[in-house]
Structure 1
Amino acid sequence: MASMYTYHPATKPHLKPSSSVVSPRPPTLALRSSLFRSRIPVDLFSIRTSLNGPTGEPLGRVRVGSKQVVASQHSFDVLIVGAGIIGLTIARQLLLESDLSVAVIDKAVPCSGATGAGQGYIWMASKTPGSDIWELALRSHQLWESLAEHIHDQGLNSQELLGWKKTGSLLIGKTVEESALLERRVKQFSEAGVEAEFLSSRELLLKEPALSVDKESGAALLPNDCQLDAHRTVAFVEEGNRQFASRGRYAEFYHDPVIALLRSGKNGEAKAVLTAKSTFYCKKAVVVASGCWTGSLMRDLNIRVDVPVKPRKGHLLVLENFNPVRLNHGLMEVGYVSHQQIMQHSSVSAAGLSNDEEMLSISMTATTDTMGNLVLGSSRQFVGFNTEADASIIDNIWKRAQEFFPELREMSLAEIGKNRKVRIGLRPFMPDGKPVIGSVPGLSNVFLASGHEGSGLTLALGTAEMVADMVMQNQGKVDSAPFAVEGRCCR
């Protein structure tokens, strides 16, 4: 749900909801719920939906093969505002785990924001055992792995469908102090049940020959960390969700901004969402998963909560088909993690950021994606909703990468020319470093799911499970108390 500057997707371009695609030989996948309690046949490539219609007219047309199905309802059990990875996976979870009908509403389209602008990490390396977010991250990581394994068990290719790769991650230190810190983190990971290994400088060089390694270098290796392609994954989730459209259980309303929340006069609960094009009624719940726009949306909807989520701008540099540096793992310098901790404990108060709102940090991150592109990052700064590319930041990302990769030192960005792209996303940042997930005080049928910052993909499936359990009043698999709205968002 954040803005993105430029991106060349690794797979086919994302099709607008009005497009219809029929695969001549569509594979069928039996998708199961996160706990594999249900089994739903899903034709992955045969449907595209068009579900934008004016009030009083049919709301959607779904093409399944050559048969057109018309959906005419204006009312759904659950309305989800936001079609990023969080909103779409919440819809998926509700569709798989219940008989509820779900509509997803967004002012743009999926992958046009932070979801599509990231590196695709599904990592535990950047999480701290024992922290409030640890159990949610661990649960979500397990659900992603289960999904990838299930796709494989069905005779399909999770790398083709999701861009899934179990590359493992390396958290890299360059000094004696950083290496000692990583040794302690490896011990923490191991004690928390996550496989981890400390690598000496010699072992690190064997794992990643392209790195600049000296005798003081070291790394924490988490071999089970993974990465995926956001565009492929979102397309996969969309196709699975759309299988429920012909049953009247699912609809998408893209390019349709939400402008008001209508409440019941009896109990004050939300009864409908007014958009620029229509009015959609909810029978059970409204879920707001609109990323860094959640706070302003709450104010626009006159909901008496103050969600202190802020847009945190990030640049990534993508070098297409880049052969001089080939990576075996996802890489991140230890400073990336330590900077996050400093921001959460020192520079941020409950009321927001202190001092320099434009404070910029750049830490080395590097991955090779499914298409062989080298993705370098990353920057973090607070400049409001500005999404313009900053050449000086790109230069600094390049210079930081050169410190880690000797092959880059003999090259300039100008030499790379047209083969370089820039991704810019606005990550939804919460001052205490935790997403906000839960019901809104005074509006028991309105739920928030936002503030995941750079961990939206990592935490998506765990968040979706948590929200679905809240909506259905099931006992949660992970303690949701640390993410509650009450006490963290108030006026």
Structure 2
Amino acid sequence: MTMKANVLVIGAGIIGAVCALKLQQQGLQVSLIDAASPGCGVTAAGMGHLVALDETDQELDLCLFSLRLWQEFFAEHPGVGEASHCGTLWVAENEAQLTEAHHRAQRLNARLWRAEALTGDQVQKLEPALRQGLAGGVRVFGDSVVYPPLIAHFMAQQLVKQGGQLLLGKRVLSVDAGTLTFEDGSQLSADTIVVATGMDVARLLPEVAIFGRKGHLAITDRYPGRLSHQIVSMDYGQAAVSADALAVAANVQPRPSGQWLIGSCRQDQQIDTSLDPTALGAVLQVAMKLLPCLADMQIIRAWAGMRPASPDGHPVIGPHPILKGVWLAAGHEGLGVTTAMATAQLLADQIAGRPCEIDHTSYLPSRFFTMRSLKYA
């Protein structure tokens, strides 16, 4: 049996849930579909930072656009997702990192995202748990930390309250232009289908080239009042990759519960989410190098997950160049939570044929398709 809907969004992680709600608010009739429950996949395994990264101008554009949308959201819905507007303290361990930290402060301030360059003494005063002798850093005031599964759940419930539909326990077998086929043989058809399935994009649309980057996280027992900011090493995103394809840089978040969430690493050439003691140990070691007191704190849980990544490091947001009516919101790697709001807005604008607020061309799926494949598909 085939049923007809207006818009189908596959994947109720934070990207899919935010996209579904945004499209519903644009006057479309949306059904959000997931094989499990909202926020329980890739979204549940991540750290939940809302942070301005600036490795490229395009990345900073996307982050800042999204962060300002998040600020509007939290002003309207205070407390949703256990949001902590703690800011980020980027820590420099040497003079080279300190120079880059000060450049980061200049770049962010030039874009009206408040940042403050700090000396080593100022860093130590802000966070006494940090080891002594650091070169300095930069404090970014507008960054936040959230618990992503709660936000995905909230967005899905808002979708239903605003007239949308939530279809859970439905695993999609295949995606074609205008039609989804489920494992039980049933089908749904729609003019617009949005694929926001995280790692499952590789199964449903292998031509889009989404792949996994494994990461390890750990969380401590409750130690309230001992950390005020998200602590991130200036090595984050720049750490050298070892022979086993492992890159590690410290990222420690204070949770409202008093727990510390500890990451992070990126490991390619992995196909499952089983814990790797070597990788986890490396994550804990770099964190303890900045925050020595972690050595005396109790780790109560550790886990691994996969970040859906693209070959060029940019997310994939826009129309599938071959399958008419199929759209993608995928490949955000470690910035899915940060850029969820901007992704939803860019996608909604493209579907509606409106100009986008920022340049979206770097994110179009067509960049992964040769002219030959487009011509002869």
Equivalent residues of 2:273, 2:305 under 8 A apart: yes
Matches of 2:83 and 2:58 in 1, distance apart?
A: 27
Q: Deviations over 1:69-92 (max 9, x none)?
A: xxxxx3211111111111110100
User: Which residue does the alignment assign to 2:160?
Assistant: 242
**Pick aligned residue for 1:117 from 45, 50, 53:** 45
Report the Cα offset of residue 94 of structure 1.
0.8
Matches of 1:367 and 1:271 in 2, distance apart?
A: 42
Matches within 5 A, 1:356-395: 358-395=244-281
Partner AA of 1:439 in structure 2: P
Matches of 1:147 and 1:186 in 2, distance apart?
A: 25
Partner AA of 1:438 in structure 2: G
TM-align CA RMSD: 2.0
Equivalent residues of 1:318, 1:423 under 8 A apart: no
Matches of 2:367 and 2:333 in 1, distance apart?
A: 20
User: Which residue does the alignment assign to 1:291?
Assistant: 198
Matches of 1:255 and 1:212 in 2, distance apart?
A: 48
Matches of 2:304 and 2:279 in 1, distance apart?
A: 11
User: Which residue does the alignment assign to 2:100?
Assistant: 181
Matches of 1:150 and 1:184 in 2, distance apart?
A: 33
User: Which residue does the alignment assign to 2:315?
Assistant: 435
Matches of 1:236 and 1:256 in 2, distance apart?
A: 20
Identity %: 26
Report the Cα offset of residue 322 of structure 1.
3.1
User: Which residue does the alignment assign to 2:235?
Assistant: 335
Equivalent residues of 2:38, 2:156 under 8 A apart: no
User: Which residue does the alignment assign to 1:464?
Assistant: 344
Give secondary structure in 2 for the equivalent of 1:336.
coil
2:147 is aligned with 1:219 = no
Task: Give the number of the structure whose alpha-carbon radius of gyration is greater.
Answer: 1
Q: Deviations over 1:299-350 (max 9, x none)?
A: 4xxxxxx222211111101012135x821111110111323xx78xxxxxxx
Matches of 1:406 and 1:390 in 2, distance apart?
A: 23
Report the Cα offset of residue 396 of structure 1.
2.0
Matches of 2:13 and 2:369 in 1, distance apart?
A: 22
Equivalent residues of 1:79, 1:103 under 8 A apart: yes
User: Which residue does the alignment assign to 1:165?
Assistant: 84
Report the Cα offset of residue 141 of structure 1.
0.3
Report the Cα offset of residue 362 of structure 1.
1.4
Structure 2: gaps of 5 or more residues: none
Report the Cα offset of residue 431 of structure 1.
2.1
2:8 is aligned with 1:82 = no
2:71 is aligned with 1:138 = no
Matches of 1:338 and 1:135 in 2, distance apart?
A: 20
Structure 1 length-normalised TM: 0.72
Matches of 1:204 and 1:146 in 2, distance apart?
A: 29
User: Which residue does the alignment assign to 1:40?
Assistant: none
**Pick aligned residue for 1:483 from 356, 363, 368:** 363
Report the Cα offset of residue 243 of structure 1.
0.7
Report the Cα offset of residue 383 of structure 1.
3.5
Matches of 1:295 and 1:386 in 2, distance apart?
A: 14
Give secondary structure in 2 for the equivalent of 1:337.
coil
Equivalent residues of 2:14, 2:149 under 8 A apart: no
Equivalent residues of 1:310, 1:384 under 8 A apart: no
Structure 1: gaps of 5 or more residues: 1-54, 57-73, 152-157, 263-269, 300-305, 344-354
Give secondary structure in 2 for the equivalent of 1:132.
helix
Matches of 1:367 and 1:440 in 2, distance apart?
A: 36
Report the Cα offset of residue 231 of structure 1.
2.3
Matches of 1:442 and 1:376 in 2, distance apart?
A: 41
Matches of 1:261 and 1:229 in 2, distance apart?
A: 30
Equivalent residues of 2:40, 2:149 under 8 A apart: no
**Pick aligned residue for 2:26 from 81, 97, 101:** 97
Q: Deviations over 1:140-194 (max 9, x none)?
A: 100000011122xxxxxx22x2211110101111111111121122112222222
Cα 1:408–1:137 change in 2 (3 A) is closer
User: Which residue does the alignment assign to 1:228?
Assistant: 146
Report the Cα offset of residue 425 of structure 1.
1.6
Matches of 2:275 and 2:245 in 1, distance apart?
A: 16
2:211 is aligned with 1:310 = yes
Matches of 2:85 and 2:320 in 1, distance apart?
A: 37
Matches of 1:271 and 1:187 in 2, distance apart?
A: 47
Partner AA of 2:121 in structure 1: R
**Pick aligned residue for 1:256 from 160, 164, 170:** 170
User: Which residue does the alignment assign to 2:329?
Assistant: 449
Give secondary structure in 2 for the equivalent of 1:468.
helix
Report the Cα offset of residue 257 of structure 1.
1.7
Matches within 5 A, 1:399-410: 399-409=285-295
User: Which residue does the alignment assign to 1:280?
Assistant: 188
* Count of matched residue pairs: 370
Matches of 1:372 and 1:231 in 2, distance apart?
A: 19
Cα 1:195–1:201 change in 2 (3 A) is same
Q: Deviations over 1:361-385 (max 9, x none)?
A: 1111101112221111112102333
Matches of 1:254 and 1:401 in 2, distance apart?
A: 38
Report the Cα offset of residue 485 of structure 1.
1.3
Matches of 1:401 and 1:441 in 2, distance apart?
A: 43
Equivalent residues of 1:377, 1:397 under 8 A apart: yes
Equivalent residues of 1:162, 1:228 under 8 A apart: yes
Structure 2 length-normalised TM: 0.92
Equivalent residues of 1:321, 1:372 under 8 A apart: yes
Matches within 5 A, 1:172-211: 172-211=91-130
Matches of 2:195 and 2:58 in 1, distance apart?
A: 22
Equivalent residues of 1:170, 1:222 under 8 A apart: yes
